[in-house]
Amino acid sequence: MEKKIIAELLRWYAISKRDLPWRSDNSSNPYYVFVSEYMLQQTTVSTVKKRFKEFIKKWPSNAQLAKTTETKILKFWSGLGYYSRARNLLKAAKIIHKDYDNKIPDIYEHLIQLPGIGDYTAKAILGIAYNTSVMPLDTNIERILARVYALNQPLIKIKKLLNEKSNNFISKKHSSKLIQAFMDYGSIICTPRHPNCLKCKINKYCLSYQNNIQNTIPVKIKKTKFKPKKFSRAYILINEYNEILVRKRPSKGMLASMLELPNDEWVEKKSLLRRDNIAKKIEKKLIRKGDLSYSFSHFVLYSEIFYKKIRKIDYPTNKWLNINKYSNSQLPTVMKKILEIMI
Ligand code: SF4
């Protein structure tokens, strides 16, 4: 059965594969695959497609990427979120430049040691870029396997079983194409909701379809947890030249090393809020402008937003950002949203 599924998927892929900029007709460029895999962590294919082309235009090879600065890559990354990926990508590019003469490693043990690369990404690079016989399990592939074998438990609880089943689909000759065929099939035919089983080339081998349970697999885990809250206050301080006072965040923790507006330390209870030093001096003259709630992956930030006009001369050591240039700046999205409340 597995051999027949492989043959069907490869046939389907030859005709119906997605047109993705990190793929070329006959072979994959390892650098393109390497960059795309960092971008695709937590971001949809449709968003990455456009940004990938811009990225490659700016940094067409690992050698060029390795020469850039963290500030520049973070600025580029604006809008893609999860900025630690950009930092890790740059660190990895520098290591590849220094230790591997700019060649993306083709050995699992070397890839896995690079910042930001785990088991899945290492296998995706090996399989797609180098046609190595592996099967990286992304959500598309896991979903297809769970449906074909009618595994009616949440995916998170059957990782080991899925891994065992995936071994049945490791190809000796066509690994790169087969991995991408699975990924595309999950995105076009065996979709998360309403899979197109009538058009499916492998429906006669699919136990979920045979038992008409394809719409209940993968089994969902009921969400019971609410996101915890955090509180802050942000300060938009504008000088007579239409510049906003900004500063660099600490080099560790959330949004590390990025620019920010002055704001109070994020705390779990409102009563724990302590006025930021820069705002303390002008506390009485601050004007409340509104509130923002911004959802991060693991908590929601509630921030009160204050505003005040100040004189540049009174803040001689601070950094400034022209207010008209904020949308292209290195400010993370949450800070841009805060500014948008006032602009
Ligand atoms: S028959 Fe339906 S559920 Fe089964 S693999 Fe095909 S599209 Fe997916």
pLDDT tens digits, 85-97? 999 999 999 999 9
Q: What separation in Å is there between the alpha carbon of 143 and the centre of ligand 1?
A: 9
Closest Cα partner for 147 from 99, 180, 190?
Answer: 190
Average pLDDT of every residue of the chain: 92
| Residue nearest to ligand 1 atom 4, measured at CA | 206
**What gap in Å lies between CA 308 and CA 245, rounded to an integer?**
11
Q: What separation in Å is there between the alpha carbon of 151 and the centre of ligand 1?
A: 13
| Residue nearest to ligand 1 atom 8, measured at CA | 190
Confidence of residue 288 (pLDDT cuts 50, 70, 90): confident
**What gap in Å lies between CA 45 and CA 290, rounded to an integer?**
35
SS3 call for 260? strand
Q: Choose which residue among 203, 211, 216 to substitute to test ligand 1 binding: the one with the highest number of ligand atoms within 8 A of its C-beta.
A: 203
Q: What separation in Å is there between the alpha carbon of 188 and the centre of ligand 1?
A: 11
Fill in the amino acid letter for 229.
K
Q: Choose which residue among 152, 197, 201, 215 to substitute to test ligand 1 binding: the one with the highest number of ligand atoms within 8 A of its C-beta.
A: 197
Confidence of residue 205 (pLDDT cuts 50, 70, 90): very high
- Kindly state the DSSP code that residue 129 receives in the 8-state scheme: I
Which value, in Å, is the radius of gyration of the alpha carbons in the chain? 24
**Residue 299: in which H helix or E strand, if any?**
none
Ligand 1 contact via 195 beta carbon (within 6 Å): yes
Would you state the pLDDT for residue 195?
95
Mean pLDDT lowest among 149-158, 197-206, 218-227, 240-249: 218-227
- 275, 276, 278, 279: CA torsion to nearest 10: -30
Which residue do the tokens 């990190």 mark? 22
Sign of the dihedral defined by the CA atoms of residues 152, 153, 155, 160, in that order:
negative
Ligand 1 contact via 162 beta carbon (within 6 Å): no
**Residue 200: in which H helix or E strand, if any?**
none
**Residue 86: in which H helix or E strand, if any?**
helix 84-99
**What gap in Å lies between CA 38 and CA 168, rounded to an integer?**
27
SS3 call for 148? helix
| Residue nearest to ligand 1 atom 1, measured at CA | 203
**What gap in Å lies between CA 106 and CA 325, rounded to an integer?**
41
The token pair at 39 is: 């971008």
**Which domains occur in the chain, in start order?**
2-210 (1.10.340.30), 229-342 (3.90.79.10)
Per-state percent for the chain, helix, strand, coil, to nearest 5? 45, 15, 40
Would you state the pLDDT for residue 309?
93
Section 19-32 average pLDDT = 80
Confidence of residue 25 (pLDDT cuts 50, 70, 90): low
The answer, yes or no, to whether residue 33 has pLDDT greater than 80, is yes
The answer, yes or no, to whether residue 22 has pLDDT greater than 90, is no
Section 20-49 average pLDDT = 85
Would you state the pLDDT for residue 8?
96
Who has greater pLDDT, 5 or 329? 5
Q: List pLDDT tens digits, range 299-340.
A: 999 999 999 999 999 999 999 999 988 888 889 999 999 998
Return the biggest CA–CA distance within the chain: 76
Would you state the pLDDT for residue 220?
86
Ligand 1 atom showing the smallest separation from residue 214 Cα: 3
Q: List pLDDT tens digits, range 61-111.
A: 999 999 999 999 998 988 888 888 999 999 999 999 999 999 999 999 999
Give the chain's count of helices (H) and strands (E).
15, 6
Q: What separation in Å is there between the alpha carbon of 57 and the centre of ligand 1?
A: 38
Would you state the pLDDT for residue 330?
84
**Residue 277: in which H helix or E strand, if any?**
helix 277-280
Ligand 1 atom showing the smallest separation from residue 196 Cα: 7
The answer, yes or no, to whether residue 26 has pLDDT greater than 90, is no
Catalytic residues: 37
Would you state the pLDDT for residue 24?
65
Cis peptide before 218 (omega within 30 of 0): yes
Q: What is the pTM of this model?
A: 0.71
Half-sphere exposure of 228 (CA within 13 A, CB side): 8
Would you state the pLDDT for residue 304?
93
Packing angle, helices 139-148 and 175-188, rounded to 10: 80
SS3 call for 188? helix
Would you state the pLDDT for residue 289?
84
Would you state the pLDDT for residue 27?
60
Q: List pLDDT tens digits, range 174-188.
A: 999 999 999 999 999
Give Cα 246 distance to the centre of its chain.
26
Section 10-16 average pLDDT = 95
Ligand 1 contact via 200 beta carbon (within 6 Å): yes
Would you state the pLDDT for residue 224?
62
The beta strand positions in 164-317, using DSSP E, are 229-238, 243-248, 259-260, 287-295, 300-309
Q: What separation in Å is there between the alpha carbon of 171 and the centre of ligand 1?
A: 21
Confidence of residue 47 (pLDDT cuts 50, 70, 90): confident
Ligand 1 contact via 151 beta carbon (within 6 Å): no
Using an 8 Å Cβ cutoff, are 123 and 141 in contact? no
